Amino acid sequence: MARQTASIQKAEASIYSYWFLVPAFFIFVIFFVIPTAISLYFSMTVWSFDSSTFCGFDNYKMFFSEYALTIGIKNTFIYAFLTSGSKVVLAFLIAVFLTGKIRTRNVLRSIVFFPNLVSTVAVGIAFKAILHPTKGYINQFINLFGLSSVDWLGNRSLALFSVAAVDIWKGLSIATVIYVAGIASIDHSYYEASSIDGASRWQTLRYVTIPLTAASRNTVIILSLIGGLRSFELIWTMTAGGPGFASDVMPSIIYKQYTQGFFGLSTAGNVILLVMISIVIFPLQKLLSKSEEAMR
């Protein structure tokens, strides 16, 4: 009898706790699950304002036969890994510098964060002007040293990297802030212990700071990689995927299809992008969290 009551109580307790999840669950279903399911359906139709025709996997076939797609997928990965990798390394170095014993570090920290306060579109438009081949500041500066102008955004093999460089500049700030928080939360006793052991500054960095910022580093990697894979605003404002298709990435291809009125096709593209990001991110996240646990 007593045992029965206990098990009922236990069951009630577990049901009771589920009630707390209900509001969040509804929000999640209404705003995330249902739209995803609907978009799966519409990705298999040719649709416009008020009508849709079911066409099976034709949109997917058409999407994969898109001429710009090969360039787009390649560019997407180059862009994502290049920007993410640079941010992980550069932001760490800046964060180490900013957590050091320098007098103006609070001012410097704010300065580093400034690019993040500016809208990406504004940054894109500004840099498009700065990188202009004849009228841009950067080329005028280069010319001062007698070097010839570089066509940053018009050169087919350079355009993507010019945009990536701006992306890195802009994205460093948030990565740095995450690192600074990570470094600041390292217990001082580790540093004291290492200094008693006679560790050099490099050894302290290598064996204390780097391992103990694994959590922040993983956050930076995941965030910047996802950001890079679906990066759109900068590319769109600076080159619009051009010249031609030279700096097209997956999101810009999808956006173009959408603006051109191929709604079903672009929905299919979004589903493919979702799958693509998932394939990259989920295993990576697993790998990273495993290594994080191993370090503890």
Under rule CB under 8 A, residue 133 binds other proteins = yes
CB of 35 vs other proteins, minimal distance in Å: 17
Cα–Cα nearest to 43, from 278, 277, 273, 253: 273
**In terms of C-beta density within 10 A (0-12 exposed, 13-18 middle, 19 or more buried), how is residue 63 classed?**
buried
- Could you tell me the CA-to-CA distances from 134 to 17, 220, 246 in Å, in that order? 65, 36, 21
Q: Which is nearer to other proteins, 63 or 179 (CB)?
A: 63
Task: State the Rg of the chain over Cα.
Answer: 25
CB of 237 vs other proteins, minimal distance in Å: 12
Under rule CB under 8 A, residue 217 binds other proteins = no
Under rule CB under 8 A, residue 151 binds other proteins = yes
Q: Residue 146 — left, alpha, or beta (φ > 0 → left; ψ -120 to 50 → alpha)?
A: left
Q: The dihedral of CA 54, 55, 57, 62: what is its sign? A: negative
Q: Which is nearer to other proteins, 9 or 48 (CB)?
A: 48
Site for other proteins in 33-52 (CB under 8 A): 46, 48-50
Site for other proteins in 63-92 (CB under 8 A): 65-68
Q: Give the β-pairing of 45-47 and 52-54.
A: antiparallel
Question: Contact letters (x/-) for other proteins, 243-272, by CB under 8 A?
Answer: xxxx---------xxxxxxx-xx-------
Under rule CB under 8 A, residue 240 binds other proteins = yes
Residues that bind other proteins (CB under 8 A): 46, 48-50, 53, 58, 62, 65-68, 132-134, 151, 153-156, 240-246, 256-262, 264-265
